[in-house]
Structure 1
Amino acid sequence: MAGHSKFKNIMHRKGAQDKKRSGLFSKLSREITVAAKMGMPDPDMNPRLRLAVNAAKAQSMPKDNIQRAIDKATASDAENYEEVRYEGYGPGGSAIIVEALTDNRNRTATNVRTAFSKNGGNMGSEGSVQHGFERLGLIEYPAAVGDEEKVLEAAMDAGADDIESTADGHTIWTAPDDLHEVSSALEKSLGEAETVKLAWKPNITVDMDEKGAGTLLKLIDTLDDDDDVQTIWGNYEISDEIMEKLG
């Protein structure tokens, strides 16, 4: 899958470090708290919270951590986080969408703008690159869950719109409003997914050369290191050969 799969590879590479894993848990906790605060603190009654909890479980986040994040939503001293989105251009004509949860818009905007400017890109205005993406629901399963035919049949029965299968796994797309219903149906037939979230899928992708890819990965690493940044989406495509060269 263009953009996202390469970003996922980066996350896997970085996830081997304890510091990065701690940072990932912090981001997952923040999303759980925000989801619980926006609706019922019960995953069965709150679709967004259920998706956030499932995402945390997929990353082996301890149950105690998940419950603490839910409990923070009703605490008197709970922080108030705001959802913000930034758009910009990276090296090689790539387009980037950055989603964040922040309690200080000025701080986050400054950090994101600096990350772009120091790594071969520039932050654009709202809507500057969004037109090149489609907002969809994303569900991912590992290849071990079954062959393409099995997953395709399950996805069709669940009401999914599209499926892409490779040797690495299965990517299932849904309409945004159908994500919770489809993921719940798939959980009954295939088990818990690795990823369940709203995504920005690029309509057209750009191929990155080695130099551009190296700078782009530094940009993504810098953005991902920011505690406020939750997810990063791009329209880039990096070949396996270049990824191997860059380590």
Structure 2
Amino acid sequence: MFARWDRMAKQFTRIGKEIAIAVKAAGPEPDNNPALRRCYLNAKAVNMPKDRVEAAIKRAMGKDISNYEEVIYEGYAPHGIAILVETATDNTTRTVANVRMHFNKMGGSLGNSGSVAFMFNRVGEFKVKNEGQDLEELELELIDYGLEEIGEDSEGNIIIRAAFSEFGNMSKALEDKGLTLISSELKRIPLNTVELPEDQAKEVLELVDRLEQDEDVQQVFYNLK
């Protein structure tokens, strides 16, 4: 129960920072701000209360709001697993020190910019409610909007991946087609994955878990199979 609440609090904090960055960049009106529309959608997907979303937008419009900067850190977990850490921070000195500490304590090492990013493909990932659509037909309809992959997750929802540069086009195409969007996120998918024995994989996942608990960390991507 406590773990679930911790996870929910972390998701709310992450979306709150995304809202702050989106509002600072393009204003508080979702109709004119695709990034803010994405925040609304993702807030709904994790059951973030509407009043909390509106409070985050209001805070982002204030003069004393923290200016969050999006910073990416790259490194290696134990056993050579590549890790890419996306952060949103108002204090990069604190964040880099904490991220380095997590890597060091768990037997990994923080690398230079560009050291592992090339191992990941940045994509837009959309989760769509499956309402009996024909996947092959949908694939043909979306190919002109940057579609890279289409499939289903374990719950039967449709997962659509588009090139990062086509995120806006795909988002609009799905809206125009009247599909029910559950969430939309920017993700980094490993080009190749590495399989490890269970005990070694556990060490990697302990580092990932530790990074994900850090208040400045938004998302962690890795190439462990």
TM-score (norm 1): 0.82
Root-mean-square deviation over aligned CA pairs: 2.1
Supply the distance in 2 between the matched residues of 1:126 and 1:106 (Cα, whole angstroms).
16
Deviation, 1:227, is 0.9
Residue 188 of structure 2: SS of its match in structure 1?
strand
**Contact 1:155–1:172, Cα closer than 8 Å, also in 2:** no
**Contact 2:128–2:180, Cα closer than 8 Å, also in 1:** no
Tell me whether 1:42 sits opposite 2:29 in the alignment: yes
Aligned counterpart for 2:73 among listed residues 61, 72, 86: 86
Deviation, 1:165, is 2.2
Tell me whether 1:18 sits opposite 2:5 in the alignment: yes
**Contact 1:161–1:175, Cα closer than 8 Å, also in 2:** yes
Aligned to 2:219: 231
Tell me whether 1:154 sits opposite 2:138 in the alignment: yes
Supply the distance in 1 between the matched residues of 2:153 and 2:186 (Cα, whole angstroms).
23
The change in CA–CA distance for 1:140 and 1:92 in structure 2 (over 3 A counts) is farther
Report which stretch shifted further, 113-122 or 97-106: 113-122
Aligned to 2:169: 181
**Contact 1:152–1:163, Cα closer than 8 Å, also in 2:** no
Tell me whether 1:163 sits opposite 2:149 in the alignment: yes
Identical positions, percent = 37
**Contact 1:100–1:229, Cα closer than 8 Å, also in 2:** yes
The residue identity in structure 2 corresponding to 1:184 is K
Report which stretch shifted further, 101-110 or 112-121: 112-121
1:93-172 matches, cutoff 5 A: 93-141=80-128, 145-146=130-131, 150-158=134-142, 159-166=145-152, 168=154, 169-172=157-160
Structure 1: unaligned runs, 5 residues or longer: 1-13, 238-247
Supply the distance in 2 between the matched residues of 1:184 and 1:60 (Cα, whole angstroms).
23
The change in CA–CA distance for 1:35 and 1:157 in structure 2 (over 3 A counts) is same
TM-score (norm 2): 0.89
Residue 236 of structure 1: SS of its match in structure 2?
coil
Report which stretch shifted further, 96-105 or 36-45: 36-45
Deviation, 1:154, is 2.8
**Contact 1:87–1:97, Cα closer than 8 Å, also in 2:** yes
Aligned counterpart for 1:58 among listed residues 45, 50, 59: 45
The residue identity in structure 1 corresponding to 2:196 is M
Residue 92 of structure 1: SS of its match in structure 2?
helix
Aligned to 2:181: 192
Structure 1 ranges of 4+ moved more than 3 A = none
Aligned to 1:216: 204
Supply the distance in 2 between the matched residues of 1:78 and 1:220 (Cα, whole angstroms).
29
Supply the distance in 1 between the matched residues of 2:2 and 2:87 (Cα, whole angstroms).
19
Deviation, 1:15, is 9.0
